[in-house]
A and B are shown apart, each in its own frame.
Chain A
Amino acid sequence: AQTVTQSQPEMSVQEAETVTLSCTYDTSESNYYLFWYKQPPSRQMILVIRQEAYKQQNATENRFSVNFQKAAKSFSLKISDSQLGDTAMYFCVFMGNNDMRFGAGTRLTVKP
């Protein structure tokens, strides 16, 4: 079974600064996908970024980028130029042969 570990329950960052959220996972599968989802107070789960395990290039989406280290089974999310609207719960998600499995989440607060 695969597990997803987010070791930072809470983090905070000043507006316009950069923050990195950590995620590690454990799996025996060779082909899989990783995601970061954010869940703001509005409750809706929103896809932030997606990474295919067979791609060495790290995914980027505007201010969001990942550092994917396959051998280390690490998948961190970097948010640049943080904005107040980035305040949310962030979930690291693993998807292998079955459905999606979520990490415990990191609550990020962006301070003005």
Chain B
Amino acid sequence: DTEVTQTPKHLVMGMTNKKSLKCEQHMGHRAMYWYKQKAKKPPELMFVYSYEKLSINESVPSRFSPECPNSSLLNLHLHALQPEDSALYLCASSPRQGEPYGYTFGSGTRLTVV
């Protein structure tokens, strides 16, 4: 299995809702990442997990809450989002944090906040 699987592919949520994005990989990678990508822009790093521990938080608002329950799974819990949070959320993984072999990306979750 050489894929990163993200669910759901599309999500529409209200500003008072609570939802979660899920990312899964079975490649034995020990680093996992969340990126946010606005339309026609490059991805922006949000969080990095290394060996299931939060390694980097790029000053992301607390309405985004990451969780890494095991080495294969990465969640992003969403609460009280704003319309400007609408974006494509990409998950990626790599064998180790900082290993220069490139990341494997998922296809993303298209999030719309209404």
Residues in chain A within 8 A of chain B (CB atoms): 32-33, 35, 37, 42-47, 50, 52, 91, 95, 97-100, 102-105, 107
* B92 CB–A CB distance under 8 Å: yes
* Nearest CB in chain A: distance from B27 CB, A: 14
Which of B97, B98, B105 is in CB contact (< 8 Å) with A45?
B105
> Looking across the interface, which residue of chain B has its beta carbon closest to that of A33?
B100
The residues of A that contact B88 with a CB separation of less than 8 Å are 43
Given A98-B98, A99-B33, A100-B103, A43:B108 Cβ within 8 A:
yes
Query: How many B residues, CB 8 Å from partner?
Result: 23
Which of B48, B104, B106 is in CB contact (< 8 Å) with A99?
B48
Q: Please report the C-alpha to C-alpha distance between residue A45 and residue B4 in the assembled complex, in whole angstroms.
A: 11
Ranked 4 nearest A-B pairs via Cβ: A102-B42, A45-B105, A33-B100, A44-B107
Give 8 CB contacts A-B under 8 Å: A43-B110, A44-B107, A45-B43, A45-B90, A46-B105, A50-B102, A98-B98, A99-B97
A97 near B98: Cβ-Cβ < 8 Å: yes
